[in-house]
C-alpha cells in the first residue's frame, strides 16, 4: 500500500508522543487520523507501542462509515455485556480495509475516535492521571481551564468498550448544544486524555498545552536524598519475592529493583501504605501491572505469601510490583515486561501522591476490576504481551563453559526449552557468540554473558552476584567448563595435571557452592547438573587427569545430592560420549594425539570413535542438551544422585 499523507501524519504524532515516558506508560494510548475525503481512518493497532509505529507496522486503515455504524447500531446494546464486546471487536476487524496482517487488530476504541475531529491523540500522561484519579479532580480541571473559550469535557468513569463510546457520544452532543463546537480536550475519569484537532501539528501542540497546565499545580519529587541500599539486602529481598511468587502461583519470574526520586519520595510518606491499599486506579494498571504496587514494611517471605494468596482468593491478580521501605520498587515479571511495570508503577505512585491533595485517591471498585479482568479486549492486550512456551519457561540457568562445544549446545538447548540463560565463560567473546546465536534463533529469549574464571573464588562469587543483579534468582546450574590435557602417564606434565584438577574439580566445586548458597536462600529448590564424561565411568588411554577428574565429578554429584536433598535441590550428572561439534577439546592438536594413540590418520579419528558405538552414530551437542533439559525439568522431579550416559552405546554401564 502506498504511503500517503494521512499515514505519515499518524506515524509522526505517535512517535512524538510515544517516546515521552511522562505521556505514555506501558505502551498505552492510541492515535488516529482521518483522510481528507472522510472515507478512511488510520488508527494505531492494539498491542503496538506508539513509538514503534512505522509504515510497515502498528496501524490499520478502517472504513469510517463502517466504524460509525457500530456506534449507531442499537441492536448491539441489547446483547449481554461480554457478547456485545465480542461482536464489536469482530465488526471493528471487518471494518479494516488494508493489506496489514489480520492478527493486527485496530484499537478497540476506534468507534470512539470516529466521533471526534480528524486527528486524535489518546494518552495516559501521569500529569493528567493525577486529576482523573482524584475525588476532586473534575473541580480542579475546571479551575485550571476556566479561561478557555471551549473548556475540556469531563467524562465520568464508564466501563470501556461500546458503552463508553455511547456515553461520550451523548456528552459530545450536549457539549455542542452548549458551545456550538465539539470539545477539543476530553478528560476521561480513570481513562486518560483525548485531544483532537484538524491537523496533526495542532493536536500535538494541544497535548503539550494540556500537560503544561496540569503540571503547574502538581508536586514533582526532585533531588530526593536517597540512601544507597545494602546490596545484600537488595538480593535477599529479590529472593524472598521470587520465592513468594513461586509458592503462591507456581511461576518462575525474574525480579528486578528500581529506585528514583518519585519512588523514594513516596516511600517516605506516612500514608504510603494507605494510599496503595485501595487497589488499582485504572484499567491499564490492571492489564500491564496486575494492579497497584503492594506496600511491604519489610521483605518477609511468609507474610508476602499470605498477602498474595489473599489477592488470589479474592479473584484478583497477584501483585507484580512491590514497594519496600528503604529499598525501592521491586518488579516480579518476565524480563521484557519489567520496564513497563516499572513505568506504570512509578506513575501510580506519582498519581497517588498528588491525588491525595485533591480530596483523595479514587480507585476502581471491585465490580469495575472484575469487568476489566473479563473484558475480551483487555484479555487480548494481555495475551499479546505474554511470553512464549517451553518446559523450562522463565527458569534461570547458568551454564559454565557456555562459550563453546557442549556448553554452547547446552545453553542453546536450555533457551529452546524456555529458560533464561546466563552463559558463563572465561572467554567473554566466545560467550557473546553463544548469546548471539541464541538471540538469532530465538529473538524473544533472555540470554546474557557472565564472565567467570571457574578456578577463582572471587570471580565465581562475583559472577553470581552479577546474575542476581540481572535476574534476581537461580534455578539451574550446569557445570560444563572443562579441559582434557592428553599425555601418556610417563610424559604427563605436572602443571597440566594440576590445571585439569583446578578446572574440572575445583571449578565444579566453586560453581556448585555458589549456586547451592543462592538456591537455599531462595527456597525454591533447583537442579544442579554436572557434565562428566564416558571417561568418568570407562577410562580412556593417555588421559590420566581427565579420567580422574571426570570420575571425581560423578562422586561429587552423589555427595552433593545427599547434602542438598533436604532443600529440594536435585544433583545429577550427564556423561557424554565423544562430542566433536564445536569442541575446543577436540582441536587439531588433540586430534593428532588421538591419531597417534590408535595408529590412524587425524581425519580418521571421528569415524574411528563413531565406529566404537553400538548405534554407529556421531553424537551432536543437542543430544547432551536434551539430557540436561530433562534433568532440569519437572519430569525428573524425583531423580537425584543419578548419571545419564548420553552416547550411542560406547560406554556400557552395568
Query: Does an H or E element contain 510, and which?
Result: helix 507-522
Active site annotation includes 609: no
CB distance 408 to 428 below 8 Å: no
What Å distances lie between residue 90 and 44, 78, 87, 101, CA to CA? Answer: 17, 17, 5, 15
How large is the C-alpha radius of gyration of the chain?
30
Catalytic residue (choose from 546, 590, 598, 609): 546
Strands of the sheet containing 447-451, edge to edge, are 447-451, 420-425, 396-400, 476-479, 526-531, 569-576, 643-646
Burial of 212 (0-12, 13-18, 19+ CB in 10 A): exposed
Residue 42: closest CA among 33, 50, 29, 51: 33
Neighbours of 349 (CB within 10 A): 27
**CA distance linking residue 347 with residue 281, whole number of Å:** 11
> What are the residues facing 476 on neighbouring strands?
397, 527
Query: Does an H or E element contain 333, and which?
Result: strand 328-333
Half-sphere exposure at residue 610, Cβ-oriented, CA atoms within 13 angstroms = 11
> What are the residues facing 187 on neighbouring strands?
154, 193
CB distance 550 to 533 below 8 Å: yes
Query: Does an H or E element contain 59, and which?
Result: strand 59-63
Q: Where are the alpha helices (DSSP H) in 426-543?
A: 428-441, 457-471, 494-501, 507-522
Three cell numbers, residue 89: 471487536
Question: Phi and psi (nearest 5°) for 10?
Answer: -70, -35
Burial of 417 (0-12, 13-18, 19+ CB in 10 A): buried
Three cell numbers, residue 278: 485501595
CB distance 238 to 472 below 8 Å: yes
Three cell numbers, residue 485: 590435557
What Å distances lie between residue 522 and 238, 240, 519, CA to CA? Answer: 9, 6, 5
**CA distance linking residue 333 with residue 498, whole number of Å:** 44
Our CA angle for 136, 179, 107, nearest 5°, is 65
Across 86-109, b (16+ Cβ under 10 Å) vs e yields ebbbebbeebbeeebeeebbbbbb
Local structure of residue 535 (DSSP, 8 states) = G
Residue 574: closest CA among 619, 533, 617: 533
Across 561-582, b (16+ Cβ under 10 Å) vs e yields beebeebebbbbbbbbbbbbbb
Three cell numbers, residue 121: 491523540
> Residue 138: which residues within 8 A CB-CB, separation 6 or more?
131, 154, 187, 189
List active site positions.
546
Amino acid at each position: 500500500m502506498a504511503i500517503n499523507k494521512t499515514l505519515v501524519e499518524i506515524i509522526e504524532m505517535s512517535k512524538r508522543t510515544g517516546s515521552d515516558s511522562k505521556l505514555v506508560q506501558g505502551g498505552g494510548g492510541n492515535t488516529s487520523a482521518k483522510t481528507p475525503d472522510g472515507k478512511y481512518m488510520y488508527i494505531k493497532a492494539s498491542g503496538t507501542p506508539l513509538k514503534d509505529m512505522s509504515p510497515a507496522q502498528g496501524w490499520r486503515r478502517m472504513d469510517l462509515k463502517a466504524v460509525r455504524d457500530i456506534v449507531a447500531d442499537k441492536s448491539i446494546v441489547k446483547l449481554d455485556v461480554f457478547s456485545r464486546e465480542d461482536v464489536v471487536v469482530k465488526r471493528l476487524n471487518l471494518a479494516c480495509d488494508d493489506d496489514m496482517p489480520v492478527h493486527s487488530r485496530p484499537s478497540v476504541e476506534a468507534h470512539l475516535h470516529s466521533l471526534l475531529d480528524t486527528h486524535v491523540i489518546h494518552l495516559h500522561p501521569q500529569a493528567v492521571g493525577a486529576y482523573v484519579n482524584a475525588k476532586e479532580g473534575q473541580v480542579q480541571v475546571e479551575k485550571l481551564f476556566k479561561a478557555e473559550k471551549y473548556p475540556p469535557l469531563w467524562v465520568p468513569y464508564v466501563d470501556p468498550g461500546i458503552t463508553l463510546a455511547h456515553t461520550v457520544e451523548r456528552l459530545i452532543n450536549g457539549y455542542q448544544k452548549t458551545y456550538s463546537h465539539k470539545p477539543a480536550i476530553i478528560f476521561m475519569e480513570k481513562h486518560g486524555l483525548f485531544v483532537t484537532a484538524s491537523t496533526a501539528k495542532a493536536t500535538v501542540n494541544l497535548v503539550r498545552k494540556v500537560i503544561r497546565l496540569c503540571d503547574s499545580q502538581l508536586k514533582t519529587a526532585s533531588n530526593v536524598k536517597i540512601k544507597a541500599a545494602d546490596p545484600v539486602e537488595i538480593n535477599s529481598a529479590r529472593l524472598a519475592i521470587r520465592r513468594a511468587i513461586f509458592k503462591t502461583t507456581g511461576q518462575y519470574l525474574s525480579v528486578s529493583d528500581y529506585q528514583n526520586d518519585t519512588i523514594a519520595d513516596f516511600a517516605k510518606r506516612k500514608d504510603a501504605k494507605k494510599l496503595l491499599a485501595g487497589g488499582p486506579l485504572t484499567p491499564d494498571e490492571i492489564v500491564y501491572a496486575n494492579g497497584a504496587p503492594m506496600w511491604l514494611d519489610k521483605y518477609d517471605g511468609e507474610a508476602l505469601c499470605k498477602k498474595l494468596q489473599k489477592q488470589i482468593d479474592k479473584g484478583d491478580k497477584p501483585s507484580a510490583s512491590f514497594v519496600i521501605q528503604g529499598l525501592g520498587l521491586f518488579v516480579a515479571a518476565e524480563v521484557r515486561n519489567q520496564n513497563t511495570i516499572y513505568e506504570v508503577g512509578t506513575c501510580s505512585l506519582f498519581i497517588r501522591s498528588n491525588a491525595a491533595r485533591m480530596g483523595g485517591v479514587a480507585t476502581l471498585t471491585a465490580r469495575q476490576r472484575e469487568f476489566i479482568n473479563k473484558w475480551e479486549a483487555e484479555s487480548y492486550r494481555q495475551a499479546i504481551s505474554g511470553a512464549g512456551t517451553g518446559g523450562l519457561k522463565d527458569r534461570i540457568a547458568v551454564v559454565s563453559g557456555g562459550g563453546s562445544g557442549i556448553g554452547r549446545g547446552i545453553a542453546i538447548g536450555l533457551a529452546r526449552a524456555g529458560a533464561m540463560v546466563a552463559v558463563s565463560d572465561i572467554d567473554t567473546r566466545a560467550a557473546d557468540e553463544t548469546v548471539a546465536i541464541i538471540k538469532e534463533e530465538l529473538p524473544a529469549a533472555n540470554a546474557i554473558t557472565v564472565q567467570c574464571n571457574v578456578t577463582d573464588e572471587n570471580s565465581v562469587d562475583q559472577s553470581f552476584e552479577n546474575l542476581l543483579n540481572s535476574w534476581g534468582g537461580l534455578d539451574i546450574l550446569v557445570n560444563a567448563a572443562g579441559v582434557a590435557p592428553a599425555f601418556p602417564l610417563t610424559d604427563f606434565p605436572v602443571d597440566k595435571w594440576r590445571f585439569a584438577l583446578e578446572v574440572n574439580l575445583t571449578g565444579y566445586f566453586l560453581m556448585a557452592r555458589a549456586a547451592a548458597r543462592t538456591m537455599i536462600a531462595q527456597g525454591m529448590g533447583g537442579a544442579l547438573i554436572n557434565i562428566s564424561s564416558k571417561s568418568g565411568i570407562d577410562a580412556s588411554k593417555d588421559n590420566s587427569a581427565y579420567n580422574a577428574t571426570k570420575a571425581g565429578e560423578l562422586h561429587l554429584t552423589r555427595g552433593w545430592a545427599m547434602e542438598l536433598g533436604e532443600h529440594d535441590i536435585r544433583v545429577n550428572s550427564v556423561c557424554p560420549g565423544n562430542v566433536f561439534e564445536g569442541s575446543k577439546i577436540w582441536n587439531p592438536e588433540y586430534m593428532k594425539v588421538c591419531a597417534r594413540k590408535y595408529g590412524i590418520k587425524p581425519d580418521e579419528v571421528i569415524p574411528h570413535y563413531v565406529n566404537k558405538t553400538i548405534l554407529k552414530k556421531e553424537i551432536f551437542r543437542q543430544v547432551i542438551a536434551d539430557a540436561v533439559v530433562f534433568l532440569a525439568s519437572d519430569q525428573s522431579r524425583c531423580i537425584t544422585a543419578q548419571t545419564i550416559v548420553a552416547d550411542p552405546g560406547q560406554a556400557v554401564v552395568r
